[in-house]
């Protein structure tokens, strides 16, 4: 059976980009593949975190993944720091990656540029991500477009390790959705929607009040020529609305454009479609609120299942490297 693995950081609120670019595909894949989904709390440590907040956002994110539709009966849901093998293999991946490769990562460049403190972990972040993926003999990694470069590096590291030490890792592939892989900020449509946006008006939270969501979409930046056409370079704002509507309704954004002659109706339909997607997620999230212990139980079962796969893979890598086994 095909193995799928993916992860999401417990920082900031989960937004529409996360949902349409990644999480919806996690839910789809769990029915056809052996799927593992991970709240990557160790990745969040690359910048200083408030301990109380980190603990609660980690649990809340797991709850949200369940609300989105991850079913613990078919998929394995767990927290990265509960499975020690991630850090064990991360060191090996750091020693497999070249400094030049890590320096070329655009995410590192973006996040370190102008920052007053840049941790060593921010630099080696992609080695931990490679470890996450390779530990589970992963075939496919459903992610948004911004993770493409990290996936390429993961493949390069797996191939390099296999060439040096013999076949040890499966070389994984990114699965990036044709629609919704790069949802843009509603106010600055040339920048991707992100947790760290300048203005909250540009980002839609998955748990946000639906009235506020509709308002944000209706106030989204477009342009002045009033022509509805899918052209991400010339018309980034309108194209983003078409992508959002297309991703929510399973339609092709370019052909959707033919249905509209004005921006108003496009915005109204996009707002309705987004609210229709978010409403059941918010209802399930509220139901799960009633029983926080249930989330912890699911995470504990998930970690046990994850360890059972990760342990033998790490042992295989150590053996290939010539590390003396402990007796
Ligand atoms: P993170 O937590 O930033 O984002 C989680 C997922 O959401 C996707 N995404 C988007 N998709 C479309 N439009 C957007 N504007 C948008 N913003 C985010 C991301 O591509 C991602 O799929 N490094 C990863 C977490 C990670 C990981 C892994 C992923 C750690 N280990 C192993 C896969 C496999 C990250 O920071 O994602």
Positions annotated as catalytic residues are: 111, 192, 195
Phi, psi of 305 (to 5 degrees): -65, -40
3-state secondary structure the chain: CCEEEEEECCCCCCEHHHHHHHHHHHHHHCCCCEEEEEECHHHHCCCCCCHHHHHHHHHHHHHHHHHHCCCCCCCEEEEHHHCCHHHHHHHHHHHHCCHHHHHCCHHHHHHHCCCCCCCHHHHHHHHHHHHHHHCCCCCEEECCHHHHHHHHHHHHHHHHHHHHHCCCCCCCEEECCCCCCCCECCCCCCCECCCCCCCHHHCCECCCCHHHHHHHHHCCCCCCCCCCCCCCCCCHHHHHHHHHHHHHHCCCHHHHHHHCCCHHHHHHHHHHHHHHHHHHHHHHHHHHHCCHHHHHHHHHHHHHHHHHHHHHHHHHHHHHHCCCCCC
Task: Map tokens 């078409």 to a residue.
Answer: 242
For ligand 1, whether the C-beta of 21 sits within 6 Å is yes
Q: Are 156 and 169 in contact (CB under 8 A)?
A: no
Phi, psi of 325 (to 5 degrees): -65, 145
What's the CA gap between 27 and 286, in Å, rounded?
Answer: 19
> What is the total residue count of the chain?
327
For ligand 1, whether the C-beta of 192 sits within 6 Å is yes
**pLDDT value, residue 196:** 76
CA of 6 relative to ligand 1 center, distance in Å: 8
Residue nearest to atom 9 of ligand 1 (CA): 18
Ligand 1 probe mutation, 125, 145, 146, 274, most atoms within 8 A of CB:
146
Closest ligand 1 atom to 8 CA: 2
For ligand 1, whether the C-beta of 141 sits within 6 Å is yes
Residue nearest to atom 14 of ligand 1 (CA): 17
Residue nearest to atom 5 of ligand 1 (CA): 8
**pLDDT value, residue 319:** 97
Q: Per residue in 253-287, pLDDT tens? A: 999 999 999 999 999 999 999 999 999 999 999 99
Interior/surface letters 172-197, b for 16+ CB within 10 angstroms, e for the rest? bebbbbebbbbbbbbbbbeebbbeeb
Q: Which among 32, 54, 28, 50 has a CA at the least distance from the CA of 41? A: 54
**pLDDT value, residue 11:** 93
The number of angstroms, rounded, from the C-alpha of 120 to the middle of its chain's C-alpha atoms is 22
| pTM, full prediction | 0.97
Closest ligand 1 atom to 142 CA: 22
276 CB neighbour count, 10 Å cutoff: 12
Q: Are 36 and 4 in contact (CB under 8 A)?
A: yes
For ligand 1, whether the C-beta of 18 sits within 6 Å is yes
**pLDDT value, residue 327:** 84
For ligand 1, whether the C-beta of 57 sits within 6 Å is no
Closest ligand 1 atom to 43 CA: 30
What's the CA gap between 175 and 151, in Å, rounded?
Answer: 10
Q: Are 289 and 16 in contact (CB under 8 A)?
A: no
Extract the residue ranges of the chain whose pLDDT is less than 70. Answer: 197-198
């Amino acid at each position: 059976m095909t193995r799928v693995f993916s992860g999401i950081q417990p920082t900031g609120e989960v937004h529409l980009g996360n949902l349409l670019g990644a999480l919806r595909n996690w839910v789809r894949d769990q029915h056809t593949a052996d799927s593992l989904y991970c709240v990557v709390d160790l990745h969040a440590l690359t910048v200083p975190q408030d301990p109380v907040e980190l603990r609660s956002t980690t649990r809340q994110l797991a709850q949200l993944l369940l609300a989105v539709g991850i079913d613990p009966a078919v998929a394995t849901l767990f927290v990265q720091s509960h499975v020690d093998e991630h850090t064990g293999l991360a060191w090996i991946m750091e020693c497999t990656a070249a400094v030049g490769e890590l320096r070329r990562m655009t995410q590192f460049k973006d996040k370190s540029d102008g920052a007053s403190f840049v941790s060593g972990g921010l630099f080696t972040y992609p080695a931990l991500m490679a470890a996450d993926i390779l530990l589970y003999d992963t075939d496919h990694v459903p992610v948004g477009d911004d993770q493409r470069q990290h996936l390429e590096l993961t493949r390069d590291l797996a191939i390099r390790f296999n060439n040096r030490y013999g076949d040890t890792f499966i070389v994984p592939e990114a699965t990036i959705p044709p629609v919704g892989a790069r949802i843009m900020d509603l106010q600055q449509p040339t920048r991707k929607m992100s947790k760290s946006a300048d203005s909250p008006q540009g980002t839609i939270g998955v748990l946000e009040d639906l009235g506020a969501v509709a308002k944000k979409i209706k106030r989204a930046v477009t342009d002045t020529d009033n022509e509805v056409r899918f052209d991400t370079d010339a018309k980034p704002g309108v194209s983003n609305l078409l992508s959002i509507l297309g991703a929510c309704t399973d339609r092709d954004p370019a052909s959707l454009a033919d249905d509209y002659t004005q921006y108003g109706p496009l915005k109204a339909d996009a707002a309705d479609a987004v609210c229709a997607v978010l409403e059941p997620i918010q209802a399930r999230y509220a139901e799960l609120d009633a029983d926080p212990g249930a989330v912890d139980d699911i995470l504990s079962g998930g970690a046990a299942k994850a360890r059972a796969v990760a342990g033998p893979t790490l042992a295989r890598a150590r053996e290939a490297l010539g590390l003396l086994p402990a007796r």
